[in-house]
Amino acid sequence: MSRGFHAAFGRAPDAVASAPGRVNLLGEHTDYNDGFVLPIALPQQTTVSIGLAAGRDFTLRSEGFAKPLSFRRDRLPDEPFGRYVYGCIAEVGIVGFDVPPLDIHVGSDLPMGVGLSSSAALEIATLRAVRALLKLPLDDVAIAKLAQRAEIDYAGVRCGIMDQMASSLADTERALFLDARTLATRLWSLPDGAAVLVLDSGVPRSLVTSGFNQRRGECEEACRLLGVTSLRDVRRVDQLESLPDPWQRRARHVVTENARVLRAVGGSDAETLGELMNASHASLRDDYEVSIPELDRLVSLLQEHPAVFGAKLTGAGFGGACVAVCAADRIADVAAEVLGDYRRLGGRGRLLAPPVLPT
Ligand code: GLA
């Protein structure tokens, strides 16, 4: 991918780094409630190549944009894409390391805007490249925290830390069980014979920033009404009975979703994991209200397939992708049959992961 830098700037980069996208198996909208999540890294990655620039401008070029984007350290770029990179550079400055003007090239085979954390992959790859160039004493957890701050402060999404921790620490073989309060992690193997399939509903995510921030606000209000600092501290749904609607349903999703993650990592076979994912989708649809009809349709088709253990929307919701755990030796059939049925019902889905199916 450093070829892209060479073509854009006519020289070799001084540092190159990559970071993966993620798909979340269980634990949706729990991270900003200090709860538990279970993402796994995807094979698709974003690569950031950087070189020291001659002048005072940062110049950002990407395969996805014809025109270069220029910015300076004291002026936030207008384009959302540039804000992620700018935010990372600004956050590194806030913790005491000045980043000199850079030429930056971004290449990626990770689909954007479908809920697979392309923004976190961009942030983590940027921070890794800057860390390598300046030999910064920042570990992978510190990088994830800076990336989260960049997204909150400069892109305006009050996200939790799951995506950045997953992009910084997860691998593609095992899922990353993360406690979002302590940031303790443990790698968790999928049940034997099970594989992860990710399909796009074909519906772009809309309202994701406003809807996401609204949900986060509702959780904070539920905490205030309950007199707790975070919904992580509520273990039983009967503790929520005093809450009015919609706060009771929002909180019920978080409490039951945390329990589902703990149950899954406590030792579950593929059938149990599948049931937990199905229950997660129902809760995201009915209690948290972040699904849309097309995602519900695609998830139902997956759930009805005999080789699928379970399926749910993945990420923030409001459109984008869904994830299924299915029999590893049937993954190509599941993808073809479910996408065919979805098309017959008027949908325009596509395969996102694995990027290449076994033949
Ligand atoms: C987005 C956010 C994450 C998390 C998920 C929902 O991806 O960036 O922090 O809250 O939504 O689980």
Q: Give the whole-angstrom CA distance, residue 38 versus residue 36.
A: 7
CATH number of the domain where residue 317 is located: 3.30.70.890
Mean of the pLDDT values across residues 20-27? Answer: 98
* Residues 172, 30 share a domain: yes
Q: Give the whole-angstrom CA distance, residue 15 versus residue 135.
A: 11
User: Could you tell me if the CB of 316 is within 6 A of ligand 1?
Assistant: yes
Q: Give the whole-angstrom CA distance, residue 85 versus residue 89.
A: 6
Q: Are 298 and 352 in contact (CB under 8 A)?
A: no
Look at residue 307 and tell me if it is in a domain.
Answer: yes
* Residues 232, 139 share a domain: no
Q: Are 212 and 316 in contact (CB under 8 A)?
A: yes
Look at residue 357 and tell me if it is in a domain.
Answer: no
Mean of the pLDDT values across residues 298-312? Answer: 98
* Residues 174, 114 share a domain: yes
pLDDT at 155: 87
* Residues 173, 89 share a domain: yes
- Which has the closest alpha carbon to 130: 94, 108, 104? 104
Q: Are 200 and 349 in contact (CB under 8 A)?
A: yes
pLDDT at 81: 86
User: Could you tell me if the CB of 205 is within 6 A of ligand 1?
Assistant: no
Question: First CA to last CA across the chain, in angstroms?
Answer: 28
**Helices 118-134 and 140-150, packing angle to 10 deg:** 120
* Residues 165, 285 share a domain: no
Q: What is the pLDDT of residues 173-197, one digit of tens each?
A: 999 999 999 999 999 999 999 999 9
Report how many domains make up the chain: 2
* Residues 148, 9 share a domain: yes
* Residues 344, 215 share a domain: yes
* Residues 221, 107 share a domain: no
**Last residue in a domain, options 187, 206, 237:** 187
**Last residue in a domain, options 122, 156, 187:** 187
Mutate which of 161, 162, 288 for ligand 1? The one with the most ligand atoms within 8 Å of its CB, which is: 162
CA 303 vs CA 195, 233, 273, 332: distances in Å: 14, 32, 13, 16
Q: How many CA atoms lie within 13 A of 187 on its CB side?
A: 8
User: Could you tell me if the CB of 200 is within 6 A of ligand 1?
Assistant: no
Nearest CA to ligand 1 atom 2: 159
User: Could you tell me if the CB of 315 is within 6 A of ligand 1?
Assistant: yes
Token duo for residue 342 = 């979805």
Look at residue 359 and tell me if it is in a domain.
Answer: no
Look at residue 246 and tell me if it is in a domain.
Answer: yes
User: Could you tell me if the CB of 341 is within 6 A of ligand 1?
Assistant: no
Mean of the pLDDT values across residues 95-101? Answer: 97
* Residues 161, 64 share a domain: yes
Token duo for residue 353 = 């992961």
* Residues 212, 176 share a domain: no
**Range from 50-54, 150-154, 206-210, 287-291 carrying the lowest mean pLDDT:** 206-210
Mutate which of 207, 212, 253 for ligand 1? The one with the most ligand atoms within 8 Å of its CB, which is: 212
pLDDT band at 1 (very low <50, low <70, confident <90, very high): low
Look at residue 358 and tell me if it is in a domain.
Answer: no
Token duo for residue 254 = 């978080």
List of residues 6+ apart from 220 with CB closer than 8 A? none
Ligand 1: centre distance to CA 329 (Å): 30
Cis previous bond, 191, omega within 30: no
CA 159 vs CA 32, 36, 44, 256: distances in Å: 7, 14, 22, 20
Q: Give the whole-angstrom CA distance, residue 111 versus residue 17.
A: 18
Could you say which of 31, 103, 163, 200 is catalytic?
Answer: 163
pLDDT at 339: 98
Q: Are 290 and 256 in contact (CB under 8 A)?
A: no
Q: Which atom of ligand 1 is nearest to the CA of 120?
A: 8
Q: How far is CA 15 from the centre of its chain?
A: 25
CATH number of the domain where residue 13 is located: 3.30.230.10
pLDDT band at 18 (very low <50, low <70, confident <90, very high): very high
Mean of the pLDDT values across residues 302-321? Answer: 97
**Range from 58-62, 342-346, 354-358 carrying the lowest mean pLDDT:** 354-358
Ligand 1: centre distance to CA 309 (Å): 23
* Residues 165, 195 share a domain: no
Q: What is the pLDDT of residues 120-131, one digit of tens each?
A: 999 999 999 999
This prediction's pTM: 0.97
Nearest CA to ligand 1 atom 11: 316
Largest Cα–Cα separation, the chain: 64
**Last residue in a domain, options 131, 162, 187:** 187
Mean of the pLDDT values across residues 303-314? Answer: 98
**Helices 140-150 and 80-94, packing angle to 10 deg:** 130
Mean of the pLDDT values across residues 132-139? Answer: 98
* Residues 234, 168 share a domain: no
Q: Are 12 and 234 in contact (CB under 8 A)?
A: no
Ligand 1: centre distance to CA 158 (Å): 9
| pLDDT at 2 > cutoff 90 | no
| pLDDT at 299 > cutoff 80 | yes
Look at residue 212 and tell me if it is in a domain.
Answer: yes
User: Could you tell me if the CB of 347 is within 6 A of ligand 1?
Assistant: no
Q: Are 35 and 254 in contact (CB under 8 A)?
A: yes
User: Could you tell me if the CB of 121 is within 6 A of ligand 1?
Assistant: no
Residue 167 belongs to domain spanning: 2-187
Look at residue 321 and tell me if it is in a domain.
Answer: yes
Nearest CA to ligand 1 atom 10: 29
Q: Give the whole-angstrom CA distance, residue 233 versus residue 241.
A: 15
Look at residue 52 and tell me if it is in a domain.
Answer: yes
Q: Are 61 and 67 in contact (CB under 8 A)?
A: no
Q: What is the pLDDT of residues 141-169, one digit of tens each?
A: 999 999 999 999 998 889 999 999 999 99
Please say if 163 is a catalytic residue: yes
